[in-house]
Structure 1
Amino acid sequence: MERTVTVNVREVQESGNEAIERVDAEAVNSAKVRQPLYAARKKIHPKRASGAFRQFKWLVMAITLGIYYLTPWIRWDRGPYAPDQAILVDIANRRFYFFSIEIWPQEFILIAGLLVMAGAGLFLITSVAGRAWCGYTCPQTVWVDLFLVVERAVEGDRNARIKLDQTPWTLDKITKKLVKHLIWIAIGFFTGGAWIFYFADAPTLARDFTLGQAAPIAYFTVVILTFTTYVFGGFMREQVCTYMCPWPRIQAAMLDEDSLTVTYNAWRGEPRSRGAKKSVAAGKLVGDCVDCNACVAVCPQGIDIRDGQQLECITCALCIDACDGVMDKLGKERGLISYTTLLDYQHNMDIATVGGTKPINPALVRTAEGKLTEEVKNFRLGHIFRPRTAVYFSLWVLVGIGILTMLMSRGRLELNVLHDRNPQFVTLSDGSIRNGYTVKILNMIPEPRAFTMSIDGLPDATMSAPDIAEASDGKVSVEAEPDRVRTFKVFVAVPAGSLDEEITPFEFHVVDKDGMESAVYKTTFSAPEKK
């Protein structure tokens, strides 16, 4: 469902020679009107903003998209026996490679630790700066920004897009719409294509994919991601943030009075006036807000920040850029819309009201020269360093230290032994007792290695491995392929009458022949009950 919106009307504010454009924009998601839980989408035509926050968003978009699309092509030499892709999720061999770090399935606790760090970091950022993740680095936000770049390049800025949507279907309109959607689909295709390269060697998969020789799951994944990127970035946009994402509701629990949020400073802006000089000449009390609606026009979520904090707001701060530009033209201080905290906002509201009650008198927060008084509070570092952020940061650091400690202390050799259960033991013709074991030696480095295996704790015991040559001293020599598990069968025999217990503990020992690493596995030897 699309709503007809008239285009901009230019009004000149009475301040110097600068013309202040008043945009005829109404909040699509208005906090003043209770909407149904699931309302039909009203199309938003956000105007391009310019300013520090917009430049920062361009930078973040370039960095995040660059990382996503280029990372699979980075090479990392691990030797001749391991893949040379810097970041690779090798599902077939159950490995995860991250530059010089290789993670096996049993080490997944490291990945879990990274997820805990990511969660603690998100909580920390939210408690400090609200939904900064949503406004700058969330994939939905980044791809919507990219889609808007295409939309503006093909159809023009806000006014041109509104006019185009209202005009009949002509060849020019069809051409522009077709070009826009084809580029959107191409972006979705390359998004899915980049994703599959994280799970296989990128150059090889790219060649196989082009020649139609890749696995069916690769094509299926690209189709799904192309479709979802196209739909979420091109059509659903703000609805993904409002209805599909749980974070807008969760983040409310992360905020407190010291959290920075994008805020319209009503203590300074109210009452609004579209002709400030005329209103002052007439003896009316006016604030700095000239009701130009620039903040509404640039909002990608279609809200009016002057209505207060809203679930739809992703704190992208584009409204700050738009408002600061208007304040510059009017010769007023920036910050009518700014990052601020509830504590500072309430303090300034108390100054701007008589006896703590309305109406707001913005003159109370200014000196005789028209400057903001020293009593007005703005952002302070004390808002960042507080108990809640200290807890989140401490958790983040502790988990990080734990992961680093595990990475630095972990061995690259593991030994697992499984005792045969049926039968648990066998009595041989000479009366000796024999137990069978399945041994697994994990060589967790991308190089071939040779090991020597022995047993300890069973006097007079002998060990044999049918598929492996046995050394003269009773030890078994084993070779393991690089980055692989060597599995083989081992039999341990004990002479009759040498054991007093039915269950006797003992140990398997494996030593790298280069003397670099060793591993021990404790198990038991089963014998028949003595009569």
Structure 2
Amino acid sequence: MSDGIAKEPIQLYEARKKIHPKRATGSFRRFKWIVMAITLAIYYITPWLRWDRGEFAPDQAVLIDIANRRFYAFFIEIWPQEFYFVAGMLVMAGIGLFLVTSVVGRAWCGYTCPQTVWTDLFLVVERYFEGDRNARIKLDKAPWSFDKLRKRVLKHTTWLIIAVATGGAWIFYFADAPTLLRDLVTGQAHYVAYATVAVLTTTTYVFGGHMREQVCNYMCPWPRIQAAMLDEDSLVVTYNDWRGEPRTHGTKKAEASGEAHGDCIDCNACVVVCPAGIDIRDGQQMECITCALCIDACDDIMGKIGRPTGLISYSTLNDYNANMALATDPESATLNPDLVRDKDGKFVDAIKHFDWRIFLRPRTLLYFFIWVSLGLALLFALSQRDRMTISIQHDRNPVFVTLKDGSIRNGYNVKILNMIPEKRLIHLSVEGLEGAVMTVSDIEGAPASFATVPVDPDQVRSLRVFVRQSPENIKSGQTPFSFIATDQQSNEVDTYSTVFDAPE
């Protein structure tokens, strides 16, 4: 029965509050600039690098040639049947990600993830046209004017240019970059190229310019997986409340009154620089990408008020718990930062600090061993792989033919694969079949025990080969023998075992 009082509906979803991160300065921010410059340069420049493979192969250094089913990476050429090399590299990337995460948390997310890199780039553009945090907040609240419209148009136009360049750079990995660029500009490229550019332009513009941290929080699975990769000795961005609490806004006033106070002055500098909009002082959170900009912001404030840096730092859970135990009053069970300082105000020797030996714990060593082993195995397989192969398919109907002179003939479909960008002359012969001669289609000459077959660069040569055995040498049933393909110039040999069928 209603009591006549209107109730507020329960809100199950809170609308996003736009984040305006302030520009940070410091060592981690400089490191992020360097990483951003390197990763963007690799992405945009790589398709334009050239690599001479001779006149019969493309000269683009990195090329995913879907039409011809090839993958080129500088001196390496991968064929479809060698896709296990690509799979191996992907496994190595996964193990490497586990290794990095177990050591320094979400360093991938904070520094090298494409979402982070392009969001940083878009923020640079936004700051350039609209100013830093306070100016952008003020502009958002301001009514529309010519100046606001001008800034927004310039910002979004630049974002779109970056987004188009991003989509364009991606398709250059799949075709000769200069040729494809000319076709794109003149309208002669395939519609798939334009569609791909359009899709990647849209996603880059929306993800980097508008959704930003929402991609990390709601779309990316890694924040939920990373917890399984961390342990008590993993380095993560940590607010050291054992020295920061209790917070105070007036340090001098608190010192004069003799009140217990920590180093944190509650300035919120760590909050306003965070691209995820979180407060690291609330502890570890799924949204944190460990970009360490809060460390730069806090260290800057600590320097200004004459306190040691490191109030926010990379720390392990074990070190944090040990330091918390030192700073906790055993009687009141409250934090007392005076317990971690001596009479001169310096930290006591018992305080736990970063120790590089945490990198040598069993988990990281296991990941590193697996990662290195995979890399060495791939390099060994790459150095030992065949660059010429043959495959044979015996005729099924009829399996043999009896000729008028009593000899028996078998037919075979032979494929010779030349996996180098040079023309080869392959010596094809049979071994293990006494008195056998063969005839090769498309190659003139009398039946013989061998034939010389030219094979074009990076091509498969398909042949019809007929093997004939004289009556005096025929054995009933199936006789095993081998086809042998030899490149007499490089001495590379490949052998394929098959059978010769004769009447029972």
Q: Structure 2-normalised TM-score?
A: 0.96
Do residues 207 (structure 1) and 182 (structure 2) align?
A: yes
Do residues 491 (structure 1) and 461 (structure 2) align?
A: no
**4+ aligned runs moved over 4 Å, structure 1:** none
Counterpart of 1:488, as a letter, is L
What secondary structure sits across from 2:473 in the alignment? coil
- Relative contact order higher in (CA < 8 Å, ≥ 6 apart): 1
Find the aligned partners of 1:358 and 1:160 in 2 and give their Cα distance. Answer: 44
Q: 87, 94, 112: which is aligned to 1:137?
A: 112
> Residue deviations 1:221-251, cap 9 Å, x none?
1000000000000111001101111111111
Do residues 400 (structure 1) and 375 (structure 2) align?
A: yes
Describe the shift of the 1:473–1:461 C-alpha distance in structure 2 as closer, same or farther (beyond 3 A): closer
Unaligned runs of 5+ in 2: 1-10
Do residues 508 (structure 1) and 488 (structure 2) align?
A: no
Counterpart of 1:51, as a letter, is G
Q: Is the 8 A contact 2:429 2:483 kept in 1?
A: yes
Q: 257, 262, 280: which is aligned to 1:282?
A: 257
Counterpart of 1:439, as a letter, is V
What secondary structure sits across from 2:252 in the alignment? helix
C-alpha displacement of 1:282: 2.2
Do residues 387 (structure 1) and 362 (structure 2) align?
A: yes
C-alpha displacement of 1:481: 0.5
Do residues 317 (structure 1) and 298 (structure 2) align?
A: no
Could you tell me which residue of structure 2 aligns to residue 113 of structure 1?
88
Do residues 101 (structure 1) and 101 (structure 2) align?
A: no
C-alpha displacement of 1:486: 0.8
Counterpart of 1:119, as a letter, is G
Q: Is the 8 A contact 1:470 1:477 kept in 2?
A: no
What secondary structure sits across from 2:333 in the alignment? strand
Q: Is the 8 A contact 2:92 2:375 kept in 1?
A: yes
C-alpha displacement of 1:279: 1.8
Q: Is the 8 A contact 1:448 1:480 kept in 2?
A: yes
Q: Is the 8 A contact 2:438 2:447 kept in 1?
A: no
Find the aligned partners of 2:465 and 2:448 in 1 and give their Cα distance. Answer: 16
> Residue deviations 1:379-402, cap 9 Å, x none?
101211100000000000000000
What secondary structure sits across from 2:193 in the alignment? helix
Unaligned runs of 5+ in 1: 1-34
> Residue deviations 1:261-301, cap 9 Å, x none?
00000100000000012122223211000000000000000
Find the aligned partners of 1:264 and 1:373 in 2 and give their Cα distance. Answer: 19
Could you tell me which residue of structure 1 aligns to residue 139 of structure 2?
164
Find the aligned partners of 1:210 and 1:267 in 2 and give their Cα distance. Answer: 61
Could you tell me which residue of structure 2 aligns to residue 330 of structure 1?
305
Could you tell me which residue of structure 2 aligns to residue 17 of structure 1?
none
Q: 154, 172, 194: which is aligned to 1:179?
A: 154
What secondary structure sits across from 1:358 in the alignment? coil
Q: 481, 486, 491: which is aligned to 2:456?
A: 481
C-alpha displacement of 1:423: 2.4
Counterpart of 1:115, as a letter, is L
Identity of aligned residues (%): 63
Q: Is the 8 A contact 2:475 2:502 kept in 1?
A: no
> Residue deviations 1:172-228, cap 9 Å, x none?
111111111111111110000100111111111111111111111111110000000
Q: Is the 8 A contact 1:273 1:289 kept in 2?
A: yes
Q: Structure 1-normalised TM-score?
A: 0.91
C-alpha displacement of 1:499: 3.5
Do residues 422 (structure 1) and 406 (structure 2) align?
A: no
Find the aligned partners of 1:277 and 1:77 in 2 and give their Cα distance. Answer: 69
Find the aligned partners of 1:416 and 1:301 in 2 and give their Cα distance. Answer: 56
1:13-162 alignment, distance < 5 Å:
39-162=14-137
C-alpha displacement of 1:39: 4.3
Q: Is the 8 A contact 1:75 1:85 kept in 2?
A: yes
Q: 263, 269, 276: which is aligned to 1:301?
A: 276
Find the aligned partners of 2:416 and 2:161 in 1 and give their Cα distance. Answer: 47
C-alpha displacement of 1:466: 2.2
